[in-house]
Amino acid sequence: MARIRLDHIRHAYSPELARAGTYALREVDHAFEDGGAYALLGPSGCGKTTLLNIISGLLTPSEGHVRFDDRDVTLLTPEARNIAQVFQFPVIYDTMTVAENLAFPLKNRKVPAAEIRTRVADMLRRIGLEAKANRKARGLTADEKQKISLGRGLVRSDVNAILFDEPLTVIDPHMKWQLRSELKQLHREFAMTMVYVTHDQTEALTFADKVVVMYAGEVVQIGTPEELFERPKHTFVGYFIGSPGMNLLPCRIESGDAVVSGARIRLRDGAARVHAGQTTELGIRPEFVRIAPRGEGVPIVVDRVEDVGSERIVRARLNGNPLSAILRDDHAVPAEADAVFAPEALNVYADSWLVERG
């Protein structure tokens, strides 16, 4: 396994696009630690697959270097990088049996036959296909075929990293959860460096130790699920993670307060360090907005209350700005309501980036 260093990577798909300044990856300068489980999360078109293909060697970046530990692999083929890849659609040999498919990458690498038998038997058990070991892959379901693809990636012990590109897309919803837990378990046991592309936040947050949030060709934050929830570094992270996402209220900063369309909200850490000309927003998650009787906070207009089973979501407006709050109790929502913000959960953003406290 290896530490993967992405050293000032930029990528444009053609010289014309580069000249026009249209980069699929604008600048990525980060490292994935040896043995870490990372998810690349972001909306369609943000550059996840481009970055994964640069790590695997399917694509050479326009600028920058890829290093596996201390070795520069930027110009090496995927084979020479010694990585395993699992794609959206299963890549297996239909005419081979399940066991032969799993044995194939090991045979290619001249692993001794006895070891192949042991490893294949172990993997068959892990992916729950022992009973079908000697069946041709052709007749299997999409789920089963994708399990073989996963197994073929995981059966090798010599790989530098395993890369997954939306591997659960074709999997039945109830199986997704099971396979994700299985992957997590395998990661714990073997501590392999895993990079997993998805646009599904549940998938990313449950699989990864660290989630790499991408937006418009950039990595906007790498953090644990808690960090992304509690301190989103960029407004996109606040909006994208969580349901509903973080409230973002356009504001100006004035003597230690955030002023949202005339409503003053005290900032716990005093004046945020905002420069003249920056666009400022106050961010607060709906979980930390309390709906209170008039007089306790800032006045809001409640538009509706949505019951989503485990909780209720209040949709309101603060001087015209949309505001959501999550209610975890059965208390009635007063007609004349105020919103009270938990001071420690208030974040100020300047030009979309978090203004650090202090």
By CB under 6 A, name the binding residues for ligand ATP: 13, 24, 42, 44-50, 199
**Of 250, 348, 342, residue with least CA distance to 291:** 342
The nearer residue to ligand ATP, 24 or 163, going by C-beta atoms, is 24
What does the alpha-carbon distance between residue 318 and residue 302 come to, in Å, rounded to a whole number? 9
The H or E element that residue 52 is part of is helix 48-56
Strands 161-165 and 83-86: parallel
Give me the least distance between CB of 165 and ligand ATP, in Å please: 8
**Of 351, 338, 356, residue with least CA distance to 264:** 338
Give me the least distance between CB of 161 and ligand ATP, in Å please: 18
The nearer residue to ligand ATP, 49 or 347, going by C-beta atoms, is 49
SS3 content of the chain, % helix, strand, coil (to 5): 30, 35, 35
SS3 for 229?
Answer: helix
Give me the least distance between CB of 227 and ligand ATP, in Å please: 22
**Torsion region of 216: left, alpha or beta (phi above 0 gives left; psi -120 to 50 gives alpha):** left
Give me the least distance between CB of 235 and ligand ATP, in Å please: 19
The nearer residue to ligand ATP, 48 or 126, going by C-beta atoms, is 48
Give me the least distance between CB of 205 and ligand ATP, in Å please: 17
For residue 324 the two structure tokens come to 């959501």
The nearer residue to ligand ATP, 46 or 175, going by C-beta atoms, is 46
The nearer residue to ligand ATP, 38 or 288, going by C-beta atoms, is 38
Give me the least distance between CB of 296 and ligand ATP, in Å please: 43
What does the alpha-carbon distance between residue 206 and residue 177 come to, in Å, rounded to a whole number? 9
Edge-first strand order for the sheet with 25-32 is 71-72, 63-68, 4-11, 25-32, 218-223, 210-215, 37-41, 194-198, 161-165, 83-86
The nearer residue to ligand ATP, 45 or 334, going by C-beta atoms, is 45
The nearer residue to ligand ATP, 144 or 165, going by C-beta atoms, is 165
Give me the least distance between CB of 120 and ligand ATP, in Å please: 32
The nearer residue to ligand ATP, 41 or 84, going by C-beta atoms, is 41
What does the alpha-carbon distance between residue 208 and residue 191 come to, in Å, rounded to a whole number? 12
Give me the least distance between CB of 64 and ligand ATP, in Å please: 16
**Torsion region of 194: left, alpha or beta (phi above 0 gives left; psi -120 to 50 gives alpha):** beta
